[in-house]
Every structure is written in structure tokens, then in C-alpha cells.
Amino acid sequence: MKSIIKLRKIKKDDLKYFLKWWKDKDLIKLTSGIYEESDDILNGYFINFLKNSQNNHFIILHNNKVVGNISLTHKNTETVEMHIVIGEKEYQSKGYGTLAINQAVKKAFGKLEYQKIFIEVRSDNLRAIRVYEKCGFTKKGLKKYPDNKYQPLVLKMILQKVMCK
């Protein structure tokens, strides 16, 4: 695939994209499953993205067009959690997610110096699971969230930095 993508830090002007994606019921079904209509609540989520300096939230660009976002959420000094959404439907299932994940992995293991990346994915989101496996993530088991009626069970996948001895 010859397509090139870039990651850039999110900024205040990106709120419009997040509002669009967070209000897309089909897209939400693939992620958290929690649909929220209130712009005030969604604005609060977005402001928290911008405020937290330990986390790295990026917009995914293809030819300067915003196609999605990817985040590296700090868990501890060695571990980060990755989240990705290709929000623009015409860019889904075309390899942009794979390219973005590979760039984010390089950042996480390189400049950010993490040793492990994990992703939690809906166990029925087979398309996403295939992409994560293609990028080197391995299945580590199911994790239960009994209090979450939208996503009571997720598949945890992990990618570890390989160190030469």
C-alpha cells in the first residue's frame, strides 16, 4: 500500500471530528458501546484529552484529511493503552488503521520508552482483532466489566517491546 498517513497531536479545533464520531451509533457499537448525545458531556471528554499531559492523543491524517484518531494512554512507567478509531467511513478497511498503529507503536517504544502496549477490543469486533494481530499484538484473554451493560466482556491484546540481549 502506497498510502501515507501522519499523526499529529490533537488540538482544540479537532473537537468537531470527535463530536461527529462520538455521535455515530454504528461506530460507537464497535468501541465502547456507550452512546452519549449531550454536547456538554462530550465536550468535557474532549477537554480531558487536551488537559492530560501524560497521555498522547493524535489525529490520523491522510493527505491532510482527518480520517481518525489514535491515543496512547499512560498506565504506568512501562505500560500504555492504545485506542484507535478510523472515524471517516470511506477510510475504514483500507489499511489506514494498520499504518497508524505501526506509527504509534514506534512512538510508544521509541521516544516515549514504554515496554508494553495493550488494547482492549470488543470480542465480536473481528475486523479490529485481525488488524491488531497483523501489527503484532497477541491475545491475552478476556476481561470482564460486569458493571458495563454496553461492553461487559472485552478481549485484551498485548504487544511487548523485544529487547536484544
Residue 93 has pLDDT above 70, yes or no: yes
Number of domains in the chain: 1
User: What tens digit of pLDDT does each residue of 140-163 get?
Assistant: 988 887 776 666 778 899 999 875
Q: Which pLDDT does position 33 carry in this prediction?
A: 66
135: domain CATH number is 3.40.630.30
Calculate mean pLDDT across residues 114-124. Answer: 92
Domain that includes residue 146, residue range: 5-160
Q: Is residue 144 part of a domain?
A: yes
Tell me whether residue 165 is in a domain: no
Is 44 domain-assigned? yes
Residues near 11 by beta carbon (within 8 Å), at least 6 away in sequence: 50
Query: Does residue 76 form part of some domain?
Result: yes
Q: Is the pLDDT of residue 1 over 70?
A: no
**Residue-averaged pLDDT of the chain:** 87
